[in-house]
Structure 1
Amino acid sequence: MNRIKSIGWIGGASVLLILVATLSLLWGQYPIDFHTLLGYLQFKLFGGTGNETYALLDNIILQIRLPRILLAILIGAALATSGAAFQAMFVNPLVSPGILGVLAGASFGAALGMLISEQWYIVQILAFIFGFVAVGVAVLIGSMVTNSRSTIMLVLGGVISGSLFTALLSIIKYVADPYSTLPAIVYWLMGSLTMADLNGVLYVSIPMILSIIGMILLSKYFDLLSLGDEEAKALGVNVPLIRFLAIILATL
């Protein structure tokens, strides 16, 4: 019965997601009616005589709206999956994906990239590297204390790591040019999907989808971890290994 309810909830949520995504394609500064959208899809799938309207829709749908919608769905799925994994691992329904300091570390890395370079890939690489560095610091701090509950020490390590990289981010913002670099840092930290394009979505979807699939495959172990470390060990779960894999996949 519970499995049937779960399938029903997933199916209903999927239908709602498709409806919202479709409405997002239609609504905007340039509204598109559903009949025009169907004609455009028929033209793209089966060909036919094109016109200026379909050329304009190519720009609006394929270059502006669709990439943003797909990226928003990917981001939501990644945050939801990593959050659920951490909630099971730390046996706390209030835990968020950024509990180990990854958000602060990535923010510092991106700000540092903007400070030293104008190349976008430098910003992305440093954000990725320092996100993992922040998690590494949290795990290192959590492993330094023996005879303690490892999940509690991981949380404390995450708090320390997050505070450290937040302070370092403040230093970057203090020394940045207030007329060019600082506004760029603030805008990046606020977050935006306006620069999304189909090629970029394709590239970022690969690690995100692989991480999501990995966490889904580990979901049965997460269920056992939610019972507590001792109970999970008694049921044959390699708790340190599963926790390590969960941290890597969620951080990625």
Structure 2
Amino acid sequence: MRRRSGHCSVRDRGLIALLVLALCLALVLGVATGPFTLSPGQIFATLTGGGDMQSQIVLWNIRLPRVLAALIIGAALAASGAAFQTAFRNPLVSPDILGVSVGAGFGAVLGILLGLPVLLIQLSGFAAGLGVVALVLLLSLSLQPGGDALVMVLCGIAISALAGSGIALVKLLADPEQQLPAITFWLMGSLAGVKRNDIWLALPPILLGFIPLLLLRWRIGLLALGDDEARSMGVAAGKMRLLVILCATLMTAAAVSLSGVIGWIGLMVPHMARMISSPRFDRLLPVATLLGAGFMVLVDTLARSIASTEVPLGILTAVLGAPLFVWILARQNTMVAP
């Protein structure tokens, strides 16, 4: 297959540069905003080894880890959403279509119920998210050896319902004064307790999932044409779709284990990327990734600045995402059949 189709035009390169600049500005705003405000001069002085002790503590131990976590989580969820929507040929698909978010939620709340340390709670969520998707794939392949996309989605709905009932059971058994508030807050999504070690723990699986999507973005884009057309151009559609599912699931599970359940990013941001770029996956992926990263940084900044008590990220993304998504659908005035 010729690679020329993936070359970026001048417009694409300009758009990428503009998004990178916007992301840098969002990062500066995220680092500067909070109960202890940091001016651009203080940020620069602290990054270069100067600054007072309080600025160093706030920047290196609190603000910068949180902003970087928001960046990689937003990028991972948006890239996963774009990949799932292309692989399943449906722009209404989100990264948790196969149950990874619900599975990770069940693993994490079970860890909270058992009183595990934070690191083990995150690992439990990550492992449970991967385990649920593995169960969905095994079940769907046993029912339809060819790996039919519709069968996968239906199996994902069934297994997600089981994982959701498990979460409800854990909430019923949890201590209502200590464990239940922690479970509820985690399920709504937050980056309040993120540390530098958490980022180093989540970054490798996110990169491990993202790099294959980036390297194979031209071939993955052929899945949007249909399985027969993809095969005629030398792409094994079933194997490529399975690879996309594995990579996107790995990224989503790592993101959810770090931040809790955050909805709408993987569903809404790819639509925003299509509006300003192209539906072609080789162009959509980098745009959606940068948009998701910047959007998540801004949402997290808003979550810790609009009220005296921090607003959970899942609430803000739903409040912002639902009306914006309806507006995008009305603007496009299209409905894509599954």
Q: Deviations along 1:56-113, whole A, 9 cap, x unmatched?
A: 1111111111001100000011011111111110001121110000111111111111
What SS is found at the alignment partner of 1:96? coil
C-alpha distance in 2, partners of 1:232/1:77?
27
Which amino acid is the alignment partner of residue 53 of structure 2? A
Match among 4, 14, 17 for residue 11 of structure 1: 17
Structure 2 match to 1:47: none
Q: Is 2:182 the partner of 1:184?
A: yes
Instruction: Please state how far the C-alpha of 1:146 moved relative to its aligned partner.
Output: 3.6
C-alpha distance in 2, partners of 1:57/1:131?
37
Superposed, 1:64-103 pairs within 5 Å as 64-103=62-101
Which amino acid is the alignment partner of residue 40 of structure 2? F
Q: Could you say if the C-alpha distance between residues 228 and 111 of structure 1 is closer, same or farther in structure 2, counting changes exceeding 3 Å?
A: same
Superposed, 1:1-252 pairs within 5 Å as 3-42=9-48, 44=49, 54-146=52-144, 150-252=148-250
C-alpha distance in 2, partners of 1:146/1:197?
43
What SS is found at the alignment partner of 1:99? coil
C-alpha distance in 2, partners of 1:223/1:241?
14
Instruction: Please state how far the C-alpha of 1:11 moved relative to its aligned partner.
Output: 1.2
Which amino acid is the alignment partner of residue 59 of structure 2? I
Q: Deviations along 1:190-238, whole A, 9 cap, x unmatched?
A: 1111111223212221221221112111211211111111111111112
Asked whether the 8 Å contact 1:74–1:205 carries over to 2, the reply is yes
Instruction: Please state how far the C-alpha of 1:16 moved relative to its aligned partner.
Output: 0.4
C-alpha distance in 1, partners of 2:44/2:131?
48
What SS is found at the alignment partner of 2:94? coil
Which amino acid is the alignment partner of residue 247 of structure 1? I
For CA contacts below 8 A with separation 6 or more, give which structure has more relative contact order.
2
Instruction: Please state how far the C-alpha of 1:3 moved relative to its aligned partner.
Output: 2.4
Instruction: Please state how far the C-alpha of 1:241 moved relative to its aligned partner.
Output: 1.8
Structure 1: segments with no counterpart, 5+ residues:
45-49
Asked whether the 8 Å contact 1:85–1:246 carries over to 2, the reply is yes
- Normalising by structure 1, we get a TM-score of 0.90
Instruction: Please state how far the C-alpha of 1:147 moved relative to its aligned partner.
Output: 8.6
C-alpha distance in 2, partners of 1:107/1:147?
29
Q: Could you say if the C-alpha distance between residues 182 and 218 of structure 1 is closer, same or farther in structure 2, counting changes exceeding 3 Å?
A: same
Q: Could you say if the C-alpha distance between residues 136 and 41 of structure 1 is closer, same or farther in structure 2, counting changes exceeding 3 Å?
A: closer
Structure 2: segments with no counterpart, 5+ residues:
1-6, 251-338
Q: Could you say if the C-alpha distance between residues 240 and 172 of structure 1 is closer, same or farther in structure 2, counting changes exceeding 3 Å?
A: same
C-alpha distance in 1, partners of 2:109/2:138?
24
- Normalising by structure 2, we get a TM-score of 0.68
Identity of aligned residues (%): 37
C-alpha distance in 2, partners of 1:19/1:126?
35
C-alpha distance in 1, partners of 2:44/2:125?
40
How many residues in Structure 1 have an aligned counterpart in Structure 2?
244
Instruction: Please state how far the C-alpha of 1:118 moved relative to its aligned partner.
Output: 2.8
Asked whether the 8 Å contact 2:141–2:147 carries over to 1, the reply is no
From the CA coordinates, give the structure whose radius of gyration is larger: 1
